[in-house]
Amino acid sequence: MRADELLAGYVPGVNILNGCDFYLKDGELVGIIGPNGAGKSTLLKALFGLIPVRSGSVTLRGENITSAPAHRLVSMGVGYVPQNNNVFPR
């Protein structure tokens, strides 16, 4: 997975990611660390299409998946498991 020059955020006109690059090779495990408010969760949400990417691109194995719908990401083997336990009602 690769992200180039990502600009993304939650509120229009306020970018949390400002030109963020991210490179992950097949089979590689990466940890993203940083202080609260550094943009770790925003990066992951932008990669997985959960927040809009204002500019830049996200590619997976050479295919552009920027802001791709969930069903397309799932068919490509991409998933997101949030930290909260509110995914399922029980």
Q: What is the DSSP string of 15-47?
A: -SEEEEEEE--TT--------TTSSHHHHHHHH
Strand order in the sheet with 63-64: 17-23, 2-8, 53-60, 63-64
Dump pLDDT digits (tens) for 29-69.
Answer: 999 999 999 999 999 999 998 999 999 999 999 999 998 99
Tokens 């993203």 appear where?
32
Contact 59, 65 (CB under 8 A): yes
pLDDT of residue 90: 65
Looking at every residue in the chain, the average pLDDT score rounds to 90
pLDDT of residue 85: 66
Sorted by where each starts, the structural domains of the chain and their CATH numbers stand as 2-75 (3.40.50.300)
pLDDT exceeding 90 applies to what percent of the chain?
Answer: 70
